[in-house]
A = this chain, B = another copy of it.
Amino acid sequence: MPRKSPRITSKQVAERAGVSQTTVSFVLNQVENSNISEETRKRVLDAARELDFVPDVRAQALARGRSNNIALILTNPHRQVFVDEYVPTILTGLTEVTQQHGFRILVELVSNTSNADAYRNLIQGKEVAGMIVNLNAKMTDDIEQILGYARDRVPIVTLDAVHPDVCSVMVDKVGGTRTIVQHLVKLGHRRIACITYGPLEDVHPAARLRVYRTVLEEAGIAYDENLVRVGAFDPETGYGAMKSLLATEHITALYAMNDVMAFGAMAAIREAGLRVPEDIAVVGFDDIRLARFSTPALTTMHEPNVEHGRRAGEMLIDLINGVTPREKHALLATRMIIRQSCGAHLRRVDGEEM
């Protein structure tokens, strides 16, 4: 069990180096215009190394008036965030930049999106220097208020929702939707079902559904709301939605708004004795690692999640440092990955360039 180890403070480093605590602080923090001679500098550095000195971050944070933590706030974790590699990949990109700047990541799960207290404590408690929020719910008054409150006190970047005044980095799921639904249309499909996720008012599903509809109509295909089903972020709902589609509708293609639902849907199609893509073409969205290994391999839109985390981190650190980010709202492009499930390989499609 932990025993009290002798705590090394900057005062002890000062003593050992024969200088004042101030000098130690100046040297260790490389304060400019502090006029420390090279010789003294070296003595301090040596002393610090010999004593194995690591400054107490709590004291630093208190004295500096700024924490060195950044919060990653995950709202609705169980509904949508904790699926596939989303969190790990975001974290990968994020830590890549935060580590460089000496920030640590505080992960906070907020189950109720409009739970203002979680934010309040984090901010007022001075626990974090900035926050990155995964917020994909509908922009209600509640949320707008929370965002406003937060933004007035601490730099903040959202990963999804766009509030005009709050910086954000967002994956262009809407553009991706256009691309992939057009892909299905080009393959000749006219009965294209859609499995979306709810609530339909939320940022992405609403806009994506609209684009799905637009693309169909542009191709002269009437929008049929019977072909739209609402799932969630798990294979089960995709499976259920497909079952229900198969029971009542005749379709030749499916656009599932995430890969995981596409997996479920394909299972349902198989159970019904139908083949993918011969009977029903299926496309997903996200490009999870397993997408390449489903039966058949899933055609999908690739989301740059590592980049997503990285950009959000960079933007936040800019804000923390008082630098105005070049773009207030960054949009990251998705990329279509054509595999087998859409049936493109069967039809000798001419160069899909989108």
B293 touches A55 (CB 8 A): no
Known: A56-B126, A89-B82, A92-B77. A1 touches B319 (CB 8 A): yes
Asked whether A152 is an interface residue with its Cβ less than 8 Å from the other chain, the reply is yes
Known: A62-B58, A104-B108, A107-B91. A295 touches B293 (CB 8 A): no
Known: A56-B125, A62-B62, A85-B82. A289 touches B234 (CB 8 A): yes
Min CB–CB distance A269 → chain B (angstroms): 10
Min CB–CB distance A305 → chain B (angstroms): 11
B-contact 0/1 string along A103-137, CB 8 Å cutoff: 01111110000000000110011110000000000
Known: A2-B154, A92-B82, A152-B3. A239 touches B104 (CB 8 A): no
B87 touches A87 (CB 8 A): yes
A88 touches B87 (CB 8 A): yes
Which residues in B have their C-beta under 8 angstroms from that of A294?
A: 263, 294-295
B77 touches A126 (CB 8 A): no
B152 touches A2 (CB 8 A): yes
Count the A residues whose beta carbon is within 8 Å of the partner chain — how many?
66
Known: A266-B293, A293-B267. A107 touches B108 (CB 8 A): no
A235 touches B292 (CB 8 A): yes
* Complexed CA–CA distance, A77 and B93 (Å): 12
Could you say which of B82, B83, B270, B290 contacts A235, with CB atoms under 8 Å apart?
A: B290
* Complexed CA–CA distance, A338 and B1 (Å): 42
A57 touches B127 (CB 8 A): yes
Which residues in B have their C-beta under 8 angstroms from that of A5?
A: 152-153
B-contact 0/1 string along A69-93, CB 8 Å cutoff: 1001000011001111101110110
Could you say which of B54, B61, B89, B120 contacts A54, with CB atoms under 8 Å apart?
A: B120
A124 touches B293 (CB 8 A): no
* Complexed CA–CA distance, A81 and B91 (Å): 12
Asked whether A264 is an interface residue with its Cβ less than 8 Å from the other chain, the reply is yes
Asked whether A260 is an interface residue with its Cβ less than 8 Å from the other chain, the reply is yes
B153 touches A54 (CB 8 A): no
B82 touches A125 (CB 8 A): no
Asked whether A189 is an interface residue with its Cβ less than 8 Å from the other chain, the reply is no
Which residues in B have their C-beta under 8 angstroms from that of A299?
A: none
Please provide the chain A residues from 1 to 35 with a CB less than 8 Å away from any CB of chain B in the complex. 1-3, 5, 8
B88 touches A77 (CB 8 A): yes
Known: A56-B62, A126-B57, A319-B1. A235 touches B293 (CB 8 A): yes
Which residues in B have their C-beta under 8 angstroms from that of A234?
A: 289
Could you say which of B55, B99, B153, B260 contacts A290, with CB atoms under 8 Å apart?
A: B260
Known: A2-B155, A58-B61, A104-B108. A270 touches B295 (CB 8 A): yes
B293 touches A264 (CB 8 A): yes
> What are 11 A-B contacts defined by CB distance under 8 Å?
A5-B153, A54-B124, A58-B61, A83-B85, A83-B289, A87-B87, A235-B292, A239-B293, A267-B293, A267-B297, A294-B295
Other contacts beyond A2-B154, A58-B127, A77-B91: 15, CB < 8 A: A2-B155, A52-B120, A53-B124, A54-B120, A54-B124, A83-B85, A87-B91, A88-B88, A105-B108, A106-B106, A239-B293, A263-B290, A264-B293, A266-B293, A294-B295
